[in-house]
Structure 1
Amino acid sequence: MAPAVLASGDLAPHRAVYDLKLGDSSDRSGIAAVDGRIVYETSGSTCDGYTSTFRLVMRVFDTKGGSQLSDLQTSAYESADGFDFTVRTFANGVATEDTLGRARHQDDTVIVDLKRPEEESITLQGKALFPIEHTRAIIAAAKAGKRILQADTFDGSESGRAIFPTLSVIGKEVDPAQREAPKAGKRGEDDAAAVAVIGKGRAWPVTVSFYAPNMPMEESEPVYSISFLQYENGVTRRMRLDYGDFSVIGKLSAFEYQEPAAPCPGN
């Protein structure tokens, strides 16, 4: 499906698959290889809200012949009224987190109403952005020519109790006419056919660093960072996850646009 004509500010409904491989690793990491996959799907619009699902399955092989399998599954609905989220994680098939809740902005706080792991309401200090809000803020900053975006974020992880300070560094816009096409078969390269489906919209290289939760950024070091090419319609590719002692490359292996949402009333 060709990219849809979107209302101003809307993100494109799409499904993207990224195959994971080890990038770099230090001797002290003890990591020999990585294998896995990310599947991300989103639909909706600004007026209807956005529904998204994300799954990251990754097996890490160590230099002693052992391995560990991690599985992160999230689903969310984000609208002007709030952020409904489910987060489930597994380590070697054993559940380690199962969180269900709803978050909403209130003045300078985020109010989180949890249903799982137990029913309670908590208040987190700070004007944190939800995931779609954060993506749109990065795109808006890039289009405005800004190179730095500092923002607190909330995505429901850490049992719905964490606000993560983030720092986004935005590179110079990549000219579509000069954008290097992926080389077929080259390790770590995005699939050329998948990239062709995305099209030639405006795009910027971005690196987002996530800091220790619930504490000032200046008092901690980044926990991890994600680098990618950010398109103005919300699509990303050229993914790289950096965990300090090792990094993981996310190769875009499949991509398709989904049916766009119906026009908002009055449009």
Structure 2
Amino acid sequence: MKKTTATVASLLVFLAGQVWADTVVLQPHRAVYEAKLHNMRAAGNVATVDGTMIISLEKACDGWIFAQQLSLDIGLSNGVAVRQEVRFAGWEALDGKSYRFASRQSTGERQSGFKGSARLSDDGKPGRADFAAPETKTVELPAGTVFPVTHTMKLIEAARAGRRMEPRIVFEGSTVDGPQQVTAFIGQTQLPGPDSQTALGPLAMRPGWPVRMAVFPLGGQNAEPDFEIEVLQLDNGIVRRMVLDLGEFSLLLELKVVKAIEGSTC
């Protein structure tokens, strides 16, 4: 369950960055997802998963503000029921150089969290991340590191250019181990379907791409990623569907409600 908590927290941060870049206007929004068990490995001890995830994304005068809350009821094969809560809040400067983050995770009675800030260099030199919790620690960010929003901007730019793979070093603040290597595999453009997306309203009636992201520890020698995320990324910044592969089981999150949020007047 410890790995599940950490990787779900990472999922939230990667999803927080799902916004559109440059010439396309970002749609600030609040989205509600239904979470359920997607696939279970034969040797796993997880029997059932049900829950809800809420994501909000707003644009302030100086940066992007995002918040997520994931609540899961997990039933284990031995009959034990576990409640898991993951909350994350972040801010990324419009120029992509500064980042603040805070998270809190609880599984049953066990709690943990992360809090800190990060800054990238303007001259191509390494940046730094300063953690205030769970311990005071400074982590170097290699040149070329990006934060979640910028990561997705680069990902969307790659998709628009027709590239099918986009490797990046990403810092999102869900582990004191520092940045991670994220390799994204981008599929062909998908047009909106006529059924379920129509029921969600015009915000979900957009073209997008299926993207699979494999997340590795930076500098690690493992051939297998720590975890993988699949998303259907719409071109207005809304994620229509996502699957988080946790190894022991995979979690499916499907968009059920999405509403626009009024932007700030600067």
Q: Give the structure-2-normalised TM-score.
A: 0.82
Selected match of 2:180 from 164, 174, 185: 164
> Partner residue of 1:259?
262
> Partner residue of 1:51?
65
Selected match of 1:214 from 194, 215, 218: 218
**CA pair 30-94 structure 1, distance change in 2 beyond 3 A:** closer
Answer yes or no: is the 8 Å Cα contact 1:13–1:259 preserved in 2: yes
For 1:215-254, list aligned pairs within 5 A.
215-216=219-220, 219-254=222-257
Selected match of 1:30 from 32, 39, 45: 45
> Partner residue of 2:76?
62
Q: Which runs of 5+ in 2 are unaligned?
A: 1-20
Does residue 1:198 correspond to 2:200, yes or no? no
Does residue 1:100 correspond to 2:118, yes or no? no
Does residue 1:121 correspond to 2:138, yes or no? yes
Question: Which string of whole-angstrom CA distances, capped at 9 and with x for unpartnered residues, describes residues 113-137 of structure 1?
Answer: 2333344533233522211111111
Give the whole-Å Cα distance in 1 for the aligned partners of 2:91 and 2:143. Answer: 21
**CA pair 122-224 structure 1, distance change in 2 beyond 3 A:** closer
Q: 1:239 is matched by which residue type in structure 2? A: M
**CA pair 26-180 structure 1, distance change in 2 beyond 3 A:** farther
C-alpha deviation, 1:153, in angstroms: 0.9
Give the whole-Å Cα distance in 2 for the aligned partners of 1:246 and 1:121. Answer: 33
Q: 2:244 is matched by which residue type in structure 1? A: L
Give the whole-Å Cα distance in 2 for the aligned partners of 1:220 and 1:92. Answer: 32
Answer yes or no: is the 8 Å Cα contact 1:110–1:127 preserved in 2: no
Q: Which runs of 5+ in 1 are unaligned?
A: 1-5, 183-190
Q: Give the structure-1-normalised TM-score.
A: 0.82
Selected match of 2:36 from 9, 21, 39: 21
Give the whole-Å Cα distance in 2 for the aligned partners of 1:10 and 1:93. Answer: 42
Answer yes or no: is the 8 Å Cα contact 1:226–1:242 preserved in 2: yes
Selected match of 1:39 from 21, 44, 54: 54
C-alpha deviation, 1:214, in angstroms: 3.0
> Partner residue of 1:187?
none
* Number of equivalent positions: 242
Does residue 1:131 correspond to 2:148, yes or no? yes
Give the whole-Å Cα distance in 2 for the aligned partners of 1:210 and 1:52. Answer: 21
Give the whole-Å Cα distance in 1 for the aligned partners of 2:83 and 2:143. Answer: 34
Give the whole-Å Cα distance in 2 for the aligned partners of 1:114 and 1:10. Answer: 33
Answer yes or no: is the 8 Å Cα contact 2:72–2:84 preserved in 1: yes
Q: Which has the larger radius of gyration?
A: 1
C-alpha deviation, 1:238, in angstroms: 1.7
Give the whole-Å Cα distance in 2 for the aligned partners of 1:174 and 1:23. Answer: 22
Give the RMSD, CA atoms, in angstroms.
2.2
Answer yes or no: is the 8 Å Cα contact 1:197–1:256 preserved in 2: no
Give the whole-Å Cα distance in 1 for the aligned partners of 2:134 and 2:77. Answer: 35
Give the whole-Å Cα distance in 1 for the aligned partners of 2:22 and 2:144. Answer: 26
